[in-house]
Each structure stands twice: as C-alpha cells, then as structure tokens.
Amino acid sequence: MALPNLGGLSLGSPTGADAEALGIADVIKNILSNIDAGNFELACETARIWANQICHANREACDDDDAWIKLTQSAFKHLKITPKLLTKEDAAEGHSTMAWFFELCNRASRYKVARGRLADVTRREEAYHREWRELRLNSAALKPDPLKPNHITDEKEAKRLKRQLRRLEHNMDDPYKPTVPLSVQQEDLRDLVRMLKRSLTADPFDDKILSDVNAAWEAYFGPDEPMEEEDGEGDDAGVDG
C-alpha cells in the first residue's frame, strides 16, 4: 500500500527537537488534506506508522484527543457508518481516543475481509450449481453397455464422474473450509458481516459486542487466520446493516 506524501513531515525516527515539534495534529491534518479521508486503510496505516515511531519518544504528542477524534470521524466515511466517539470527558477519565481509533481500524479491516470472503463464497456457490448440473447431465447421458466395444472406457468415465460429483456435493475441494457446505459458509459469513458492521457503530464501552465479534470471527476464520484483504471487496451480498 502506497503511503501519502506527508510533505514536510518526517516518518523516519525523529528524536530530540524533531520529536518535540511533530504532533499528531500535524499528521492528521496532512492525512486529511493529501489523501481521500474515506480510505480508512491508508489513514490507519499512516497513523500507525507515525504512532509507532513517535509515541515512545514523545508521549504527549500522541495524546491530542481532538486530533484523534477528528481522524475517527473522517477515516471510515466510505464504509457508510458513523462510529461512536470517545469524548474529551471520557479521555479525562483515562480512556484513550488513540486506542479507540485503532480498535475501529481493526474492526473495519475485519469487516472488509469478511465482506470479501462472503462475495467469493457467493460466487463459488453459483459456480457450484452450474457444475453440479453439468455433471449430473453428463452422468445421466453416459450409460455403460456391456455389449458396446467401448464399455470399459464408458464404465471408467462413469465412475470418474460419480467420484467428481461426490467430491463436489461434499465440498471436499474448498480452499477455505473443506467439507463445510457453501450455503452454511454463506450464512455464517452473513451473520459475521452484520455483527462486524454493528460493531463499527457500537458504544466504545460495549464489551459484549467485541466479545461476540471475536468469537464469531474465530469460529469461521480460526485463531491463526491472517487478516489480509480478499480479492475484491465485494458487496453486502444481501446483508442488511
């Protein structure tokens, strides 16, 4: 992913006066003026790089609540959601506006991955039905006859088609979840997408929805599934918010 041109801001490892001079407000202003703020991945990645390199040297520079709130308001617009914000009063009580922004980045990334997987599974479900019909027709048309000279060849082909049909019916060659029917995967993913979308507008202090999302994510993807973007973001595939 290409990072935006941050102009005069250095994304190196500033120390001393440089670290003192570089504030998150400057970074966020530059992000919002140089990139489409609707690209949450770019906003999250740029802010993460800056925070990783600066916060250890100048913690005060990372504690600009107004700046983090502004970035949280702007970064997720293209997802057509309005996230709940931590207030300055919440921050005064010790709740981190920066941590909440990065939590939303994590949820938004999962939402995009789940939507992409749902779109892919939906496409493969449609292809499955086409292939299943074709195999059934070919199998029905092939009727081995012991009196025909090519009987042995036809019989082998009939067995091959039967094996192929069985593998297809049991979804044995699925690249993600072999033997789990695509229709079941679709339902699980639709539920997960709905839950993730709700989590993006949930109250920051709603621990239950976070627990539910984590459980649903792990149930489908497993604990070690990398959170990387699927090919194509897809659409909601019939998922309501």
**What dihedral do alpha carbons 152, 155, 157, 158 form, nearest 10°?**
170
- The Cα 78–Cα 80 span in angstroms is 5
Alpha carbon separation from 114 to 6, 163, 172, 197, 223 (Å, rounded): 31, 32, 22, 10, 15
Q: Are the beta carbons of 193 and 177 closer than 8 angstroms?
A: no
What are the pLDDT digits (tens) for 73-132?
Answer: 888 888 888 999 999 899 999 999 999 999 999 999 999 999 999 999 988 888 777 775
Alpha-helical (H) ranges within the chain are: 16-21, 24-34, 40-54, 59-62, 65-75, 88-92, 97-141, 151-169, 182-199, 207-221
Could you tell me how far CA 75 lies from the centroid of its own chain? Answer: 16
What are the pLDDT digits (tens) for 168-221?
Answer: 677 777 888 888 888 889 999 999 999 999 999 999 999 999 999 999 999 999
The pLDDT, as a whole number, for residue 197 is 95
Ordered by start, the domain boundaries in the chain are 106-221
Residue 70: pLDDT band by 50, 70, 90 thresholds?
A: confident
